[in-house]
Amino acid sequence: MREMEFKMERKGLVQQGEEVNVTESALPTSYYYTIVPAVAMSKNYQGYERLRSRKGIVKEIRETPRGFYIVVVFDEEEPS
């Protein structure tokens, strides 16, 4: 299992426990992920940190003075 944090600008766009899909976008030296449809965005990740799964479950939503942060859990178990 892997947890990733996403920044969301407005409240109520996703709910805890909801399954979400993410898209991967490439920058010249890193990658970032967006919960579709454009709900929230992750920080930038290096190539070795790329996400293998494109579906996750919202574990937590936190409200801070800087905005809303979503923690999403992805199943990235190694195949046996």
Interval 33-49: pLDDT, tens: 999 998 999 999 999 99
**CA-only gyration radius of the chain, Å:** 12
What is this structure's pTM?
Answer: 0.88
- Whether 80 shows a pLDDT value over 70: the answer reads no
**Neighbouring-strand partners of residue 79:** none
Residue 31 sits at φ, ψ, to 5 deg, of -135, 150
